[in-house]
Amino acid sequence: MGKLVSVVAGVLAGFVVAHFLNQSASGSQFFARANATVQTFVSGLRDGYRG
């Protein structure tokens, strides 16, 4: 049970840190780049699956 609490606390802490980072200009740019990279990857997977 303690490990589950640790994992949940870590995930929540990650969301909080990401929220504060996204409020800065450089953090917002980082997440925009990361989102574009993920979208490119997902698009490639979709094309490969359908192809």
Return the pLDDT at 11: 98
Distance CA 20, CA 23 (A): 5
Whole-model pTM over 0.85? no
Average pLDDT for residues 1-21, to the nearest whole number?
Answer: 96
On the question of pLDDT at 51 being above 90, the answer is no
Distances (CA, A) of 51 to 39, 40, 41, 42, 47: 18, 16, 15, 14, 6
